[in-house]
Structure 1
Amino acid sequence: MLVSPVAERNKDSILEILSEYLDPKKDHLSTLEVASGSGQHIVHFAKSLTNVTWQPSKISAPSQESICTYIAATKVNNVKKPLYIDVSEPWERWAGLSQRSCDVIVSINMLHFCSFRSVQGLFRGASELLKPRGILIIYGPFAINGIISPKCNMELDRSLQESCPTEGLRDVDVLRQLACKNTLRLETMVDMPEQTKCLIFRRA
């Protein structure tokens, strides 16, 4: 069972955002989390939003095992087994997920750790998998109009690009334009703790 201190700190604030978009009065809602990390987030969300079926995903086998361990330990019955999903691949290869099958897709702290090809893949996949008026929620640190602040985010961006030039904080306006090309619209941007934000995109 992997443990992420960051996930422990931000899980409640992200849950607040999810609660606004996942109506507790509606049954049979389906949410896909892309890159579920340790599994701490998804079981926490599942315990509070019990009317939602949660689908975790992760590339690495150790993380998939951790997710399964969290599911077993918390005894949540509305979280499926994790899928292997590589967002850089065409959405048709995303573990056989069906077109228009998701009410919400969630991506937490992923975009700055992956290539721009994967960022593009996330938006293309979301466009195909989300139902009409479905929501894509992306959480993390971002650049705004080419500017990264405060200093901690600047240092994070520098460190990521030194390790891998294709990684780094994504600019919100670039993501907005990418979304528009994929039938998604940036509906709102929410300031979150620890110099992060939630971007809410809605499918047309």
Structure 2
Amino acid sequence: MNQEIPPLDPHPLSEYVAWAGGRNREPILGVLKDKLPKDPERILEMASGSGMHINYFAPHFEHLHFQPSDKDVEVFDNIKELSGNLGNNNIADPVHLDLTDPQTWFNPGPEKSFAAIFCINIFQVAPISIADGMMKCAAHLLKDDGFLLIYGPFQIEGQFSTDSNKAFHETLSSVGVPEWGLKDVADLKKAAANYGLELKERINMPSNNFSLIFGKI
């Protein structure tokens, strides 16, 4: 019997977000196992929310140091509690990072730049304008050979890849929040180009989602 889908609720601590996160974490882990560096490096998660993803991934990469971040400090206790309960010693305390506020973009210094940044399931409930801040921030924080992985459902050049993605977009749009809905990969590519980044790879994922890999040009 299929698990009943909780009511749509984008709050990071909601039952819906927990359900969606539990459904997609294994496929994303598979991509990370292929893409993350084999040597000790620092990895940043943008918009960590409840911390469910970073705490699921970290035990698989004991040689890596993970840095959670979010604009909402109210989720920090949940992230730290998860890390403590799971014994994930390679996860730092979360930091405040607001993609619309460059003053929160800490300066890591060359030796402390991140080898990879990932962000999961944000754009269906965030305005496309956030892409500009995300790309500018990623260009600031990434090593020259680092990458930004963005996971979620997207339109491709104005088209829906499947009928289910179109239906999901219509469901999101029906809520009445202007920024809710599937964004277009073309707009992410345009924002990336403004800051010396380009789409290196588009990986098809289960449930009609994508992993978008951006790197420096």
Does TM, scored on the shorter chain, surpass 0.5? yes
Partner of 1:188: 201
1:14 Cα deviation from its structure 2 partner = 0.7
Partner of 2:5: none
1:99 Cα deviation from its structure 2 partner = 4.9
2:108 maps to 1:98:
yes
Whether the 8 Å CA contact 2:68–2:92 is kept in 1: the answer is: yes
Partner of 2:214: 201
Partner of 1:37: 49
1:42-191 paired onto structure 2 within 5 Å: 42-90=54-102, 92-94=103-105, 96-100=106-110, 101-162=113-174, 163-191=176-204
Deviates more, 1:52-61 or 1:185-194: 52-61
Whether the 8 Å CA contact 1:99–1:128 is kept in 2: the answer is: no
Q: Which residue identity is paired with 2:30?
A: E
Whether the 8 Å CA contact 1:137–1:200 is kept in 2: the answer is: yes
Q: Which residue identity is paired with 1:138?
A: I
2:34 maps to 1:20:
yes
Q: Which runs of 5+ in 1 are unaligned?
A: none
CA distance in structure 2 between the partners assigned to 1:158 and 1:19 by the alignment: 33
SS state of the match for residue 152, structure 1?
helix
CA distance in structure 1 between the partners assigned to 2:109 and 2:130 by the alignment: 19
SS state of the match for residue 54, structure 1?
strand
1:117 Cα deviation from its structure 2 partner = 2.4
SS state of the match for residue 45, structure 2?
strand
Identity of aligned residues (%): 31
Aligned Cα RMSD in Å? 1.8
Whether the 8 Å CA contact 2:65–2:91 is kept in 1: the answer is: yes
Whether the 8 Å CA contact 1:99–1:130 is kept in 2: the answer is: no
Q: Which residue identity is paired with 1:18?
A: L
CA distance in structure 2 between the partners assigned to 1:184 and 1:191 by the alignment: 20
1:176 Cα deviation from its structure 2 partner = 1.5
Residues paired across the two proteins, number = 200
CA distance in structure 2 between the partners assigned to 1:97 and 1:43 by the alignment: 24
SS state of the match for residue 116, structure 1?
coil
Q: Which runs of 5+ in 2 are unaligned?
A: 1-11
